[in-house]
Structure formats: C-alpha cells, structure tokens
Amino acid sequence: MQIPHFSESNHPIVKSLFHHSDQELLTLFQRHPEHGKYFTAIFCRYSPIVFTLIRHSARSPVQADYLFALTWRHIFYELGGLDLRDDNTPGSNSFQNWLINMTAVCINQADLPPVESIHYNLQAAPPPFWCYLEQAMEKLPAVIRLMVVMAQTFHWSETRIAAYLQAEGEVISPAQVRTQLNQGYQLLEEALPDDIREVYLGEEAAHPERKSAVSTL
C-alpha cells in the first residue's frame, strides 16, 4: 500500500505552521475561518494515519480515495465545534484519538457507490481544496451554481444548459450561459480563502486538472 503524497505539505504557507501543536492549530482554525491553511496543516499532519486506516477497509483504491475525501470532509465540519477539554482521554494524543474515532465512524457508516460511479480525483481535488471549494459553491447565486454543476459535473454544452433552463422558465441564450458561467468561475475562485487559492491554484502549471476540480462536487 502506497500512501499518497500531497504537494501542499511542501508549500511555505503550510510548512510555516508545522511547529504548532494540534491544540494550537485547532484553535486557529476555529478563530479564523477565513483562512484555510490551518485545516490544511492538520490534514497534512494526519492524512497518513487516516489513509492507512481507510485503505485497509476499502475494497478498491478508487473507493479508498473517495472514502478518504468523505472522511476529511466530515472531520472538517466537526472541527468547528470540537473542544478537546471535553475529551476524557488525557495526554497529547487526544486529538489524534479523536481523529481515529472519526475515521472509524466514517468507515463503519460508509455506503460507497460502485467504482464505476465514482468520479472523484484525489490529485485534482485534495480534501482541503475540496472542502473549501464546496463552501465557495454554496456562496454562488442558485442559477449560476446550477449552471456550473451542469457544465463541470455533467459536461453539458452551453446550448443544452440554455435549453434546460428555458424549459424551467428561464429566458436565457447559450451566449448568456457562457457569460454567466465565466462569471460563476470567477466568483467561485474569489470565494475561496486567499491562502487556499495560493496553495492550490498557484500550482495550476503542475496540476492543470484543478481548474475543473468542481466536477468532483
């Protein structure tokens, strides 16, 4: 079993946080939701443990990657309300124990789709990027968000998107769809935390697939 390497662990923004304790990173994450670097640092620190646990329980590498991402998304939303002072397990490993427990919960409750139905790409959308991309998607106007999903997830043409929206009562042309899609992509990028853009989208030359990572949503 090969544990995947995530290049963000070598980014200066993320590396500058490695001296922080788990508790410090957790506190910074909770106090500064406008930054994505603290969650990314937590991810880089503990992704090998989480991946190892998941890989041994998944039937295929594709399902393992998808469950890995789902687990980190679950962790992402749970971290906001986590208080380690309520943990009955003393010692410096209480955060690690919590992560292991969360991973076990996700493994036991997972109802994974067949391999052929999974379109998630771990390299195109590492879990921290995926989590913040989802948050950014939620900030888009509803119609633009729908168009972005149809274009990126289902690979619909602008003509087909316009036809669908017209059938739903929207008066819109394919040219207007193209304009609003471009606006949506710009809004989506602007809605990402600045440090997430720098860590992930600053590497488009090495990872051009991240431009269309919204297709994993």
Domain identity same for 140 and 71 = no
List Cβ neighbours of 132 (8 Å cut-off, separation of 6 or more).
36, 192, 193, 196
Token look-up 């471009």 returns 182
CB-CB contact of 199 with 37 (8 Å) = yes
Looking at the domain assignment, is residue 151 inside a domain?
yes
The per-residue pLDDT for 153 is: 83
In sequence order, the 6+-apart residues with CB closer than 8 A to the CB of 62 are: 115, 118
What is the number of domains present in the chain? 2
The domain that holds 197 is classified in CATH as: 1.10.10
Assess if residue 191 is contained within a domain. yes
Which of 65, 68, 80, 96 minimizes the C-alpha distance to 30? 80
Taking 70 as the pLDDT cut, the residues of the chain under it are 1, 86-93, 203-217
pLDDT tens by residue, 9-63:
999 999 999 999 999 999 999 999 999 999 999 999 999 999 999 988 888 899 9
**11 lies in the same domain as 113:** yes
Q: Which amino acid is present at 193? A: P
Tokens of 30: 């909770």
pTM of the model: 0.87
Residue range of the domain that includes 96: 7-117
